[in-house]
Chain A
Amino acid sequence: MEKKLERLKKSIWVFHLNTGSCNGCDIEILDALTPYHDAERFGVKLVGSPRHADVLLLTGPITLESLPKVINAIEATPRPRIIVALGSCGSGGGIWHDTYSTIGGVNNLLKILKERGIEVDAVYYVPGCPIRPEALLYAIALVKGLVEKKAKSKVAVVE
Protein backbone atom coordinates (compact mmCIF):
# COMPACT_ATOMS: atom_id res chain seq x y z
CA MET A 1 0.00 0.00 0.00
CA GLU A 2 2.70 2.46 1.06
CA LYS A 3 4.59 1.71 -2.13
CA LYS A 4 1.53 2.45 -4.21
CA LEU A 5 1.13 5.83 -2.49
CA GLU A 6 4.82 6.47 -3.06
CA ARG A 7 4.07 6.75 -6.78
CA LEU A 8 1.77 9.69 -6.13
CA LYS A 9 4.46 11.79 -4.55
CA LYS A 10 5.68 13.29 -7.81
CA SER A 11 2.76 15.37 -9.03
CA ILE A 12 -0.68 15.02 -7.60
CA TRP A 13 -3.55 15.74 -9.90
CA VAL A 14 -6.61 16.80 -8.03
CA PHE A 15 -10.28 16.68 -8.81
CA HIS A 16 -12.47 19.18 -6.99
CA LEU A 17 -15.49 17.33 -5.68
CA ASN A 18 -18.11 19.67 -4.24
CA THR A 19 -20.64 17.67 -2.25
CA GLY A 20 -22.92 20.51 -1.20
CA SER A 21 -20.53 22.93 0.42
CA CYS A 22 -21.35 26.58 0.97
CA ASN A 23 -18.60 27.54 -1.54
CA GLY A 24 -16.37 28.97 1.20
CA CYS A 25 -13.91 26.10 0.94
CA ASP A 26 -14.20 25.99 -2.87
CA ILE A 27 -13.08 29.59 -3.14
CA GLU A 28 -10.12 28.78 -0.91
CA ILE A 29 -9.11 25.93 -3.23
CA LEU A 30 -9.04 28.40 -6.09
CA ASP A 31 -7.06 30.72 -3.85
CA ALA A 32 -4.45 28.03 -3.33
CA LEU A 33 -4.11 27.66 -7.10
CA THR A 34 -3.52 31.36 -7.78
CA PRO A 35 0.04 32.60 -8.46
CA TYR A 36 0.20 33.96 -4.92
CA HIS A 37 -0.02 30.60 -3.16
CA ASP A 38 0.72 28.56 -6.29
CA ALA A 39 -0.06 24.95 -5.47
CA GLU A 40 1.51 24.03 -8.83
CA ARG A 41 4.86 24.32 -7.07
CA PHE A 42 4.03 20.85 -5.75
CA GLY A 43 2.87 19.54 -9.09
CA VAL A 44 -0.77 20.01 -8.21
CA LYS A 45 -3.00 20.29 -11.23
CA LEU A 46 -6.75 20.68 -11.25
CA VAL A 47 -8.26 18.16 -13.66
CA GLY A 48 -11.73 18.05 -15.14
CA SER A 49 -12.57 14.41 -14.58
CA PRO A 50 -12.10 12.04 -11.64
CA ARG A 51 -10.66 9.52 -14.12
CA HIS A 52 -7.53 11.65 -14.39
CA ALA A 53 -7.22 12.41 -10.69
CA ASP A 54 -5.03 11.01 -7.92
CA VAL A 55 -6.61 13.03 -5.15
CA LEU A 56 -10.22 14.03 -4.62
CA LEU A 57 -10.60 17.35 -2.83
CA LEU A 58 -13.89 16.75 -1.11
CA THR A 59 -15.68 19.85 0.20
CA GLY A 60 -19.06 19.92 1.87
CA PRO A 61 -20.95 17.61 4.22
CA ILE A 62 -22.18 15.27 1.43
CA THR A 63 -25.86 15.95 0.90
CA LEU A 64 -28.18 13.04 0.20
CA GLU A 65 -28.76 14.50 -3.26
CA SER A 66 -25.05 14.41 -4.10
CA LEU A 67 -24.27 11.03 -2.48
CA PRO A 68 -24.82 8.82 -5.58
CA LYS A 69 -22.71 11.17 -7.70
CA VAL A 70 -19.98 11.27 -5.08
CA ILE A 71 -19.86 7.47 -5.01
CA ASN A 72 -19.68 7.41 -8.82
CA ALA A 73 -16.83 9.92 -8.82
CA ILE A 74 -14.87 7.96 -6.22
CA GLU A 75 -15.44 4.73 -8.13
CA ALA A 76 -14.18 6.38 -11.31
CA THR A 77 -10.93 7.52 -9.71
CA PRO A 78 -8.06 5.15 -10.49
CA ARG A 79 -6.25 3.40 -7.61
CA PRO A 80 -4.38 4.44 -5.55
CA ARG A 81 -6.97 7.03 -4.67
CA ILE A 82 -6.74 9.55 -1.87
CA ILE A 83 -9.57 11.62 -0.45
CA VAL A 84 -8.67 14.96 1.15
CA ALA A 85 -11.70 16.04 3.17
CA LEU A 86 -11.63 19.81 3.34
CA GLY A 87 -13.21 22.06 5.92
CA SER A 88 -15.27 21.28 8.97
CA CYS A 89 -18.00 20.05 6.66
CA GLY A 90 -15.86 17.53 4.84
CA SER A 91 -13.96 16.24 7.83
CA GLY A 92 -16.71 16.16 10.44
CA GLY A 93 -19.99 17.36 8.99
CA GLY A 94 -19.54 20.89 10.34
CA ILE A 95 -22.67 22.73 11.38
CA TRP A 96 -24.67 20.34 9.19
CA HIS A 97 -23.46 17.18 10.91
CA ASP A 98 -26.91 16.14 12.19
CA THR A 99 -29.26 17.73 9.68
CA TYR A 100 -31.81 15.69 7.77
CA SER A 101 -30.36 16.25 4.30
CA THR A 102 -26.69 15.42 4.76
CA ILE A 103 -24.84 12.28 5.78
CA GLY A 104 -22.44 14.32 7.93
CA GLY A 105 -18.91 14.22 6.64
CA VAL A 106 -16.39 11.84 5.20
CA ASN A 107 -16.45 9.30 8.04
CA ASN A 108 -20.02 8.32 7.27
CA LEU A 109 -19.15 8.26 3.57
CA LEU A 110 -16.32 5.81 4.28
CA LYS A 111 -18.79 3.50 6.03
CA ILE A 112 -21.06 3.55 2.97
CA LEU A 113 -18.09 2.94 0.65
CA LYS A 114 -16.98 0.01 2.78
CA GLU A 115 -20.43 -1.57 2.54
CA ARG A 116 -20.21 -1.34 -1.23
CA GLY A 117 -16.67 -2.66 -1.37
CA ILE A 118 -15.12 0.53 -2.74
CA GLU A 119 -11.64 0.99 -1.32
CA VAL A 120 -9.94 4.28 -0.54
CA ASP A 121 -6.19 4.17 0.01
CA ALA A 122 -5.82 7.15 2.31
CA VAL A 123 -8.00 9.84 3.79
CA TYR A 124 -6.69 13.21 4.96
CA TYR A 125 -8.69 15.54 7.17
CA VAL A 126 -8.23 19.30 6.94
CA PRO A 127 -10.26 21.18 9.57
CA GLY A 128 -11.19 24.85 9.18
CA CYS A 129 -14.26 26.83 8.22
CA PRO A 130 -13.32 27.79 5.63
CA ILE A 131 -9.86 26.28 5.36
CA ARG A 132 -7.06 28.75 4.84
CA PRO A 133 -5.30 28.29 1.51
CA GLU A 134 -2.17 27.63 3.58
CA ALA A 135 -4.00 24.79 5.33
CA LEU A 136 -4.56 23.18 1.94
CA LEU A 137 -0.92 23.71 0.98
CA TYR A 138 0.05 22.16 4.30
CA ALA A 139 -2.20 19.16 3.61
CA ILE A 140 -0.67 18.73 0.15
CA ALA A 141 2.81 18.95 1.65
CA LEU A 142 1.74 16.35 4.22
CA VAL A 143 0.50 14.02 1.48
CA LYS A 144 3.85 14.42 -0.26
CA GLY A 145 5.74 13.92 3.00
CA LEU A 146 7.37 17.36 3.01
CA VAL A 147 6.20 18.42 6.48
CA GLU A 148 5.70 16.74 9.83
CA LYS A 149 2.23 16.03 11.15
CA LYS A 150 1.40 18.42 14.00
CA ALA A 151 -2.10 17.36 15.07
CA LYS A 152 -2.14 15.15 18.14
CA SER A 153 -4.91 13.98 20.43
CA LYS A 154 -4.70 15.23 24.03
CA VAL A 155 -6.27 13.47 26.97
CA ALA A 156 -6.35 15.10 30.41
CA VAL A 157 -7.80 13.53 33.53
CA VAL A 158 -8.69 15.87 36.39
CA GLU A 159 -9.67 14.98 39.96
Chain B
Amino acid sequence: MNPVKKIVKPLEVLVIAGKTGKVTVKYPFEEPLVSPEFRGKIEIDPAKCIGCGACVNACPPNALEMIESEDKKTLRYFVGRCIFCWRCIDVCPVGAIKGTREFELATNDPMDLYDYIVHSKVVCEECKHPSSETARMLKYVWEKAPITENYNNKCPECRKKSFIKAVASRRAGPIGEKA
Protein backbone atom coordinates (compact mmCIF):
# COMPACT_ATOMS: atom_id res chain seq x y z
CA MET B 1 0.00 0.00 0.00
CA ASN B 2 1.45 3.37 -0.89
CA PRO B 3 1.83 5.87 1.94
CA VAL B 4 -0.82 8.28 0.61
CA LYS B 5 -3.45 5.53 0.54
CA LYS B 6 -2.40 4.52 4.03
CA ILE B 7 -3.42 7.93 5.32
CA VAL B 8 -6.50 8.42 3.12
CA LYS B 9 -8.02 4.97 3.80
CA PRO B 10 -8.87 5.59 7.47
CA LEU B 11 -10.25 9.00 6.59
CA GLU B 12 -12.83 7.32 4.36
CA VAL B 13 -14.34 5.89 7.50
CA LEU B 14 -14.99 9.43 8.69
CA VAL B 15 -16.95 10.13 5.51
CA ILE B 16 -19.07 7.02 6.03
CA ALA B 17 -19.59 7.95 9.69
CA GLY B 18 -20.59 11.46 8.65
CA LYS B 19 -23.16 10.10 6.22
CA THR B 20 -24.67 7.73 8.78
CA GLY B 21 -24.81 10.32 11.51
CA LYS B 22 -25.32 9.51 15.19
CA VAL B 23 -27.33 6.37 15.88
CA THR B 24 -26.91 5.99 19.63
CA VAL B 25 -30.21 6.35 21.45
CA LYS B 26 -30.55 8.73 24.39
CA TYR B 27 -32.51 6.29 26.53
CA PRO B 28 -33.08 6.51 29.57
CA PHE B 29 -33.29 10.27 28.94
CA GLU B 30 -35.87 9.87 26.18
CA GLU B 31 -38.87 7.65 25.47
CA PRO B 32 -37.81 4.12 24.51
CA LEU B 33 -38.65 2.76 21.07
CA VAL B 34 -41.18 0.04 21.83
CA SER B 35 -43.06 -1.70 19.03
CA PRO B 36 -46.84 -2.15 19.40
CA GLU B 37 -46.40 -5.93 19.40
CA PHE B 38 -44.14 -5.87 22.42
CA ARG B 39 -45.50 -7.77 25.39
CA GLY B 40 -44.73 -6.44 28.84
CA LYS B 41 -46.03 -6.69 32.37
CA ILE B 42 -49.66 -7.69 32.85
CA GLU B 43 -52.11 -5.80 35.01
CA ILE B 44 -54.98 -7.50 36.80
CA ASP B 45 -58.06 -5.40 37.46
CA PRO B 46 -59.18 -6.20 41.02
CA ALA B 47 -62.65 -4.82 40.22
CA LYS B 48 -63.18 -7.49 37.57
CA CYS B 49 -61.21 -10.55 38.77
CA ILE B 50 -63.51 -13.28 40.10
CA GLY B 51 -60.75 -15.41 41.61
CA CYS B 52 -61.39 -18.47 39.44
CA GLY B 53 -57.74 -19.42 39.02
CA ALA B 54 -57.88 -20.09 35.26
CA CYS B 55 -54.85 -17.86 34.77
CA VAL B 56 -52.98 -19.78 37.46
CA ASN B 57 -53.49 -23.01 35.51
CA ALA B 58 -52.35 -21.46 32.26
CA CYS B 59 -49.25 -19.66 33.54
CA PRO B 60 -46.16 -21.62 32.42
CA PRO B 61 -43.68 -20.42 35.09
CA ASN B 62 -46.23 -20.17 37.94
CA ALA B 63 -45.79 -16.42 38.09
CA LEU B 64 -49.47 -16.36 39.04
CA GLU B 65 -50.24 -18.38 42.12
CA MET B 66 -53.39 -18.92 44.15
CA ILE B 67 -52.55 -19.00 47.83
CA GLU B 68 -55.38 -20.64 49.74
CA SER B 69 -56.02 -20.11 53.41
CA GLU B 70 -58.99 -20.98 55.65
CA ASP B 71 -61.29 -18.18 54.42
CA LYS B 72 -59.19 -16.26 51.88
CA LYS B 73 -57.99 -16.83 48.37
CA THR B 74 -55.06 -14.69 47.34
CA LEU B 75 -54.01 -14.31 43.73
CA ARG B 76 -50.31 -13.47 43.77
CA TYR B 77 -48.52 -12.13 40.72
CA PHE B 78 -44.72 -12.35 40.84
CA VAL B 79 -43.47 -10.27 37.94
CA GLY B 80 -39.91 -11.43 38.59
CA ARG B 81 -40.87 -14.81 37.19
CA CYS B 82 -43.29 -13.71 34.47
CA ILE B 83 -42.14 -14.47 30.93
CA PHE B 84 -44.66 -12.06 29.37
CA CYS B 85 -46.35 -14.73 27.25
CA TRP B 86 -49.83 -13.25 27.91
CA ARG B 87 -51.43 -16.69 28.05
CA CYS B 88 -53.27 -15.57 31.16
CA ILE B 89 -54.95 -12.83 29.14
CA ASP B 90 -56.28 -15.40 26.67
CA VAL B 91 -57.79 -17.64 29.33
CA CYS B 92 -59.30 -15.12 31.75
CA PRO B 93 -63.08 -15.62 31.44
CA VAL B 94 -63.97 -12.07 32.44
CA GLY B 95 -61.15 -10.20 30.71
CA ALA B 96 -59.74 -8.88 33.96
CA ILE B 97 -56.13 -9.03 32.76
CA LYS B 98 -54.72 -6.34 30.56
CA GLY B 99 -51.33 -6.42 28.88
CA THR B 100 -49.11 -3.37 29.12
CA ARG B 101 -45.90 -2.37 27.42
CA GLU B 102 -44.21 -1.76 30.77
CA PHE B 103 -40.69 -3.19 31.03
CA GLU B 104 -38.91 -0.75 33.35
CA LEU B 105 -39.33 -3.05 36.31
CA ALA B 106 -35.84 -3.11 37.76
CA THR B 107 -35.75 -2.81 41.53
CA ASN B 108 -33.46 -3.52 44.44
CA ASP B 109 -36.26 -4.75 46.69
CA PRO B 110 -37.76 -8.15 45.78
CA MET B 111 -41.00 -7.22 47.56
CA ASP B 112 -41.70 -4.65 44.82
CA LEU B 113 -42.17 -7.50 42.37
CA TYR B 114 -45.27 -8.97 44.00
CA ASP B 115 -48.88 -7.92 43.39
CA TYR B 116 -51.72 -9.38 45.45
CA ILE B 117 -55.48 -9.62 45.06
CA VAL B 118 -57.16 -10.94 48.18
CA HIS B 119 -60.55 -12.63 47.72
CA SER B 120 -62.85 -13.85 50.48
CA LYS B 121 -64.38 -17.28 50.21
CA VAL B 122 -68.15 -17.64 50.59
CA VAL B 123 -69.55 -19.65 53.47
CA CYS B 124 -71.40 -22.85 52.55
CA GLU B 125 -75.05 -22.74 53.53
CA GLU B 126 -75.09 -26.39 54.48
CA CYS B 127 -71.93 -27.13 56.42
CA LYS B 128 -71.13 -23.50 57.34
CA HIS B 129 -67.50 -23.96 56.35
CA PRO B 130 -65.85 -21.58 53.87
CA SER B 131 -66.33 -22.95 50.38
CA SER B 132 -63.52 -22.91 47.81
CA GLU B 133 -65.38 -20.32 45.73
CA THR B 134 -65.74 -16.58 45.87
CA ALA B 135 -69.06 -14.75 45.70
CA ARG B 136 -68.10 -13.41 42.26
CA MET B 137 -67.42 -16.91 40.94
CA LEU B 138 -70.89 -18.09 42.01
CA LYS B 139 -72.46 -15.04 40.41
CA TYR B 140 -70.54 -15.69 37.18
CA VAL B 141 -71.67 -19.32 37.01
CA TRP B 142 -75.23 -18.34 37.92
CA GLU B 143 -75.36 -15.89 35.03
CA LYS B 144 -73.94 -18.35 32.52
CA ALA B 145 -75.86 -21.44 33.58
CA PRO B 146 -78.60 -20.95 36.15
CA ILE B 147 -78.77 -23.83 38.58
CA THR B 148 -81.43 -24.42 41.20
CA GLU B 149 -81.41 -22.61 44.52
CA ASN B 150 -80.60 -25.95 46.13
CA TYR B 151 -77.16 -26.06 44.64
CA ASN B 152 -76.13 -22.44 44.66
CA ASN B 153 -74.33 -21.19 47.79
CA LYS B 154 -73.11 -24.65 48.70
CA CYS B 155 -69.54 -25.84 48.80
CA PRO B 156 -68.58 -28.38 46.11
CA GLU B 157 -68.54 -31.19 48.66
CA CYS B 158 -72.09 -30.48 49.91
CA ARG B 159 -73.26 -29.91 46.34
CA LYS B 160 -71.92 -33.31 45.36
CA LYS B 161 -73.60 -34.95 48.33
CA SER B 162 -76.99 -33.36 47.70
CA PHE B 163 -76.78 -34.17 43.98
CA ILE B 164 -76.05 -37.84 44.69
CA LYS B 165 -78.88 -37.82 47.20
CA ALA B 166 -81.26 -36.37 44.63
CA VAL B 167 -80.28 -38.85 41.93
CA ALA B 168 -80.46 -41.77 44.31
CA SER B 169 -83.88 -40.79 45.60
CA ARG B 170 -85.23 -40.46 42.07
CA ARG B 171 -83.96 -43.91 41.10
CA ALA B 172 -84.79 -45.81 44.22
CA GLY B 173 -86.90 -43.60 46.42
CA PRO B 174 -85.55 -41.63 49.35
CA ILE B 175 -82.27 -42.85 50.80
CA GLY B 176 -82.70 -45.19 53.74
CA GLU B 177 -85.93 -46.79 52.45
CA LYS B 178 -85.83 -50.27 51.06
CA ALA B 179 -87.20 -50.44 47.52
Q: Do A and B bind each other?
A: yes
Question: Min CB distance, B177 to chain A, in Å?
Answer: 43
Question: Min CB distance, A133 to chain B, in Å?
Answer: 9
Question: Min CB distance, B63 to chain A, in Å?
Answer: 8
| Interface residues in A, total, Cβ within 8 A | 45
Question: Min CB distance, A125 to chain B, in Å?
Answer: 6
Interface 0/1 of A116-159, CB less than 8 Å to B: 00000011111111011011011101100011011111111111
In the complex, number of A-B residue pairs with CB atoms less than 8 Å apart? 145
When distances are taken between beta carbons in the complex, the residues of chain A under 8 Å from B51 are: 158
The answer to whether B104 touches A135, judged by C-beta atoms less than 8 angstroms apart, is yes
The answer to whether B24 touches A36, judged by C-beta atoms less than 8 angstroms apart, is yes
Q: Please, how many angstroms separate the alpha-carbon atoms of A49 and B34 in the complex?
A: 34
The answer to whether A125 touches B106, judged by C-beta atoms less than 8 angstroms apart, is yes
When distances are taken between beta carbons in the complex, the residues of chain A under 8 Å from B46 are: 156, 158
For the complex, is B23 an interface residue (Cβ under 8 Å from A)?
Answer: yes
The answer to whether B80 touches A127, judged by C-beta atoms less than 8 angstroms apart, is yes
When distances are taken between beta carbons in the complex, the residues of chain B under 8 Å from A155 are: 115-116, 118
Interface 0/1 of A88-115, CB less than 8 Å to B: 1001111101100000010100000000
When distances are taken between beta carbons in the complex, the residues of chain A under 8 Å from B60 are: 95
A124 with B108: in contact, given A36-B23, A159-B134 (CB under 8 Å)? yes
For the complex, is A37 an interface residue (Cβ under 8 Å from B)?
Answer: yes
When distances are taken between beta carbons in the complex, the residues of chain B under 8 Å from A126 are: 105-106
Select the stretch in B5-13, B25-33, B141-149, B164-172 that faces chain A. B25-33
For the complex, is B91 an interface residue (Cβ under 8 Å from A)?
Answer: no
Interface 0/1 of B79-90, CB less than 8 Å to A: 111111000000
Question: Min CB distance, A141 to chain B, in Å?
Answer: 5
The answer to whether A138 touches B78, judged by C-beta atoms less than 8 angstroms apart, is no
The answer to whether A127 touches B82, judged by C-beta atoms less than 8 angstroms apart, is yes
The answer, among B28, B63, B115, for a CB contact under 8 Å with A153, is B115
The answer to whether B117 touches A135, judged by C-beta atoms less than 8 angstroms apart, is no
When distances are taken between beta carbons in the complex, the residues of chain B under 8 Å from A91 are: 80-81, 110, 113
A92 with B78: in contact, given A127-B105, A158-B118 (CB under 8 Å)? yes
Q: Please, how many angstroms separate the alpha-carbon atoms of A138 and B103 in the complex?
A: 9
Q: Please, how many angstroms separate the alpha-carbon atoms of A123 and B78 in the complex?
A: 17
For the complex, is A75 an interface residue (Cβ under 8 Å from B)?
Answer: no
When distances are taken between beta carbons in the complex, the residues of chain B under 8 Å from A157 are: 117-118
Q: Taking CB as reference atom, which chain A residue is nearest B28? A: A141
For the complex, is A69 an interface residue (Cβ under 8 Å from B)?
Answer: no
The answer, among A94, A122, A153, for a CB contact under 8 Å with B81, is A94
A97 with B62: in contact, given A37-B24, A135-B103, A135-B106 (CB under 8 Å)? yes
Q: List residues of B whose CB falls within 8 A of some A CB.
A: 23-25, 27-28, 32, 34, 38, 41, 46-47, 49, 51, 60-63, 78-84, 102-108, 110-120, 134-136
- 10 further A-B contacts with Cβ under 8 Å, apart from A98-B62, A139-B106, are A36-B24, A124-B106, A128-B84, A134-B28, A135-B103, A135-B104, A138-B106, A153-B111, A154-B116, A156-B118
Q: List residues of A whose CB falls within 8 A of some B CB.
A: 35-38, 41, 88, 91-95, 97-98, 105, 107, 122-129, 131-132, 134-135, 137-139, 141-142, 146-147, 149-159
